[in-house]
Amino acid sequence: MSDPRILILGAPGAGKGTQSKRLCEAYDIEHVTTGDALRANKHMETEYGTPAEYMDAGDLVPDPLVNEIVVAALEEADGFVLDGYPRNESQVEFLADATDLDVVLYLDVSEEELVDRLTGRRVCPECGASYHVEFNPPAEAGVCDECGADLVQRDDDTEETVRDRLETYRENTEEVIDHYRGTDAFVEIDGEQTPDEVWADVKAAVDSRAE
């Protein structure tokens, strides 16, 4: 199998980051995530203002800024899992010009479950590992299992911002899912199962489509 080119779709909190990490390890591919790239440059001054102004309000960052990040990352990768992009029709068109896709995974999760997952998420500021206070707690409360750093809550994982993010998602990204639904590459997965069960479905989908 050549290195798979995977797009992973789903609402905020659907488990895209969790499954992307496993995909990268299993297939030795790059994780291209607009969320992480924007967080790393959150306070960068651009002609559109800083990414932080949009992210902390739960809004989308302007397309030209995000498109530039994605194209630069895809040019460097053979196989990849693209996470957090495209989020609207204009980004769909931009991506279609930039690359082909072997598999489009859509993780389906209900809204109340999404709020619980995001408000309970804790992340490691040093190595990026992600936990949940209830569903996936670290061995010692508040401390990263992988590197021992203190865990933090993401600025946009407060309940108010989470609700705004979910509304932005409904307004913009559902049309993205409709765009890919019905294409040969599209696979819908029940994202409310345990992480291991979701992973079994994800791996089976990639193995069958990316031959």
- List residues forming the annotated binding site for Zn(2+): 124, 127, 144, 147
CA distance 209 to 111: 29
Considering the complex, state which of residue 1 and residue 46 has its C-beta at the smaller distance from ligand AP5.
Answer: 46
- Contact residues for ligand AP5, defined by CB under 6 A: 10, 12-18, 34-35, 38, 54-55, 58-61, 66, 84-85, 87, 91, 117-118, 121, 130-132, 135-136, 156, 165, 194-195, 198
Strand ranges in 22-70 using DSSP code E only, listed in sequence order: 30-33
Structure tokens at 8: 């992973």
Comparing CB distances to ligand AP5, the nearer of 139 and 184 is: 139
Helices and strands (H and E) in the chain: how many? 9, 7
State which amino acid sits at residue 172. N
Please tell me which residue in 22, 154, 163, 203 is annotated as part of the active site. 154
Task: Of 51, 80, 45, 77, give the one whose Cα is nearest residue 63.
Answer: 51
Chain position whose Cβ is nearest to ligand AP5: 35
Residue 203 falls in the annotated catalytic set: no
Measured from the CB of residue 196, what is the shortest distance to ligand AP5 in angstroms?
A: 8
Beta strands 103-108; 5-10: pairing state: parallel
In contact, 80 and 31? CB cutoff 8 Å: yes
Which of 5, 87, 117, 209 is flagged as catalytic?
87
Active site residue 16: yes
> Residue 121 Cβ, how far from ligand AP5 at the closest point, in Å?
3
- In the complex, least distance from residue 103 CB atom to ligand AP5, rounded to whole angstroms: 17
Question: Quick check: 101 and 5 in contact, CB under 8 A?
Answer: yes
DSSP three-state, residue 203: helix
CB of 182 to ligand AP5, least distance (A): 22
Catalytic amino acids? 16, 87, 121, 154, 165
